[in-house]
């Protein structure tokens, strides 16, 4: 089992496209980041991460988010919020 902690920059979502869909783009950006760094076969983002991104509404997601990604033997990656 492999476990890593990342700080994912989401500032790119503030400057591309419509401001009304920023949180949705932030979720896609998070998925692309984890795909690039962990190369999973399957990816599961926990609801707590989704709630953190959507906590300030659709127009103002956080600029960065700290996550903990764990990868098991079947190449399943789960993304959690990092403590602290």
Cα 74 from Cα 84, distance rounded (Å): 29
> Is a pLDDT exceeding 80 seen at residue 84?
no
* Location of structure tokens 């783009």: 25
Q: Give residue 62's pLDDT band: very low, low, confident or very high (50, 70, 90).
A: very high
| 16: its two tokens | 């591309």
- Residue-wise pLDDT for 31-41, tens only, equals 999 999 999 99
Q: Give residue 6's pLDDT band: very low, low, confident or very high (50, 70, 90).
A: very high
- Residue-wise pLDDT for 71-80, tens only, equals 999 999 999 9
- Residue-wise pLDDT for 9-60, tens only, equals 999 999 988 889 999 999 999 999 999 999 999 999 999 999 999 999 999 9
Task: Kindly list the structural domains of the chain, giving each domain's residue range(s) and its CATH number in brackets, ordered by start.
Answer: 2-81 (3.10.440.10)
**Residue 10 has what pLDDT?**
95
Burial of 70 (0-12, 13-18, 19+ CB in 10 A): middle
């Amino acid at each position: 089992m492999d476990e890593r902690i990342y700080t994912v920059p989401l500032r790119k979502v503030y400057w591309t496209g419509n401001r009304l869909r920023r949180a949705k783009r932030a979720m896609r950006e998070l998925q692309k980041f984890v795909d690039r760094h962990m190369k999973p076969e399957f990816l599961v983002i926990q609801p707590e991460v989704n709630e953190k991104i959507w906590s300030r509404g659709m127009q103002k997601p956080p600029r960065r988010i700290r996550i903990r990604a764990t990868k098991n033997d079947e190449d399943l990656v789960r993304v959690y919020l990092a403590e602290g």
